Amino acid sequence: MSKYIIRGGTPVAGDIRIKGAKNSVLTLLAACILTDGKVTLHDCPHISDVNTMLAILERLGCRTSRTGDDVTVDSAGISGDKIPGGLASELRSSIFLLGSLLSRLKKAKVAYPGGCEIGLRPIDIHLAGLRELGVRIVEKHGYIDCDSTRAHSADIMLDLPSVGATENLVMTCVFLKGVSVIRNCAKEPEIVDLQNFLNAMGAKVSGAGTGIITIEGVEKLHGVEYTPIPDRIVAGTWLIGAAICGGELTLSNVNPEHLSSLIAKLPKSTCKITCARDKINIICNGRCESIPKVETTYYPGFPTDLQTQILTLQTVSDGTSVVVENIFETRFKTVPELLKMGADVTVNGRTAVVRGVRSLNGARVSATDLRGGASLVLAGMCAQGETVIDNIYHIDRGYEDLTSVLSSIGVNIKRI
């Protein structure tokens, strides 16, 4: 089993170029099967979640290939409508294939999806929306069996702005006659990216980034070459890393607007942040002051995928911080590992009180999920002594070639 060994305590210095967003690329790969033309996605990260999604597409009868950072999908020969449980259990985003399969083949059988164990992530919002579109759904033996032969356009109100449900329903509506409307939908940048991708293939989708999305059905989509948005969560992780370790870091191929909620939180007294069109430069000197309160919410609010990382920053900041998690109820699973390193954190339900200490100490810890694993890397980067991180397959799901990336900015890290 691979592990990371980090010797911390040194400032960061250098540049990192951000690749395409994992949470966008996976959805766009699912959307590739909406056309029988070839689709090429540029700037795709080399991460295990992408590999798993490509494996699922292959099992469905698609042909996939990768050349460097470019991934090509040819779904002309797609024949299967069942996503195997073994692969689905590894990847939460496999659920996005439900909408695209229903559009392309009019039927789909999907195993309940897996991914990180960060709490309940019910797909009832997905299914409720599909039922409003006239999709017949049978849930049994761990599978969701759907038939869309009688599907029709509809006006749908989501109970909450779920990213996954929004994306799934948009893909389901692409070929439905008439106009479909999705209200109270998610506003994340990844939703806008999906709209732009689908429209580049000939779809008629509008309103992404607002609370109402409208889809006018078309008869056919064509192939396309497309570059996904940069990964705002990876970029945010390294911005927080610079705040934790000190030093200077420049991120390129990044959209500062997508990170506005994080940039607003980083303490101005110690972090000087300069944003350009596609770059962010951060210079951090001295120990950060604690952020009084961080509360996760839907975009454009503070993202749950950066909560554990900013909590880690608070463990070594000056003062006391309150972190409230409103999206996933077990997002604090990494706290016991941080306690091993000397952090002072008290968790009560969805709230954590973090009292900053002067420094963390190296220890042997274990990643429990993707973002929690990245947070342990940040903790190891600033800790005194040696930190060993086990179960790093979680981190491989969303961070490409971590050793090379962090070594390039002065972090003493190796993978064994």
Strand 38-41 and strand 224-226: pairing? parallel
Q: Which residues contact 139 (CB under 8 A, 6 or more apart)?
A: 127, 145
94 Cβ neighbours under 8 A, 6+ residues apart = 52, 53, 56, 83, 87, 88, 110, 111, 113, 114
Look up residue 161 and give its two tokens: 């702005």
Catalytic residue list contains 116: yes
Alpha-carbon radius of gyration of the chain? 21
Side-by-side strand order, sheet with 293-295: 293-295, 320-324, 351-355, 344-348
64: left (phi over 0), alpha (psi -120 to 50) or beta: beta
Neighbours of 292 (CB within 10 A): 9
How much of the chain is in helix, strand and coil states, percent to nearest 5? 35, 30, 40
From CA 203, how far away is CA 299, in angstroms rounded? 25
151, 132 Cβ separation under 8 angstroms: no
Selected catalytic residue, list 32, 62, 116, 245: 116
CA-CA distance, 105 to 149, in Å (whole number)? 9
Place of tokens 């990216």: 193
4 closest CA partner among 398, 396, 413: 413
> Residue 273 phi/psi, 5° resolution?
-120, 130
* Tokens representing residue 261 in the block: 């909620």
Find, among 45, 410, 15, 42, the residue nearest to 252 by Cα: 15
Strands 136-140 and 143-147: antiparallel
Distance of CA 264 to the CA centre of its chain: 21
Residue 379: which of 350, 359, 409 has the closest Cα? 359
Enumerate the active-site residues.
Answer: 116
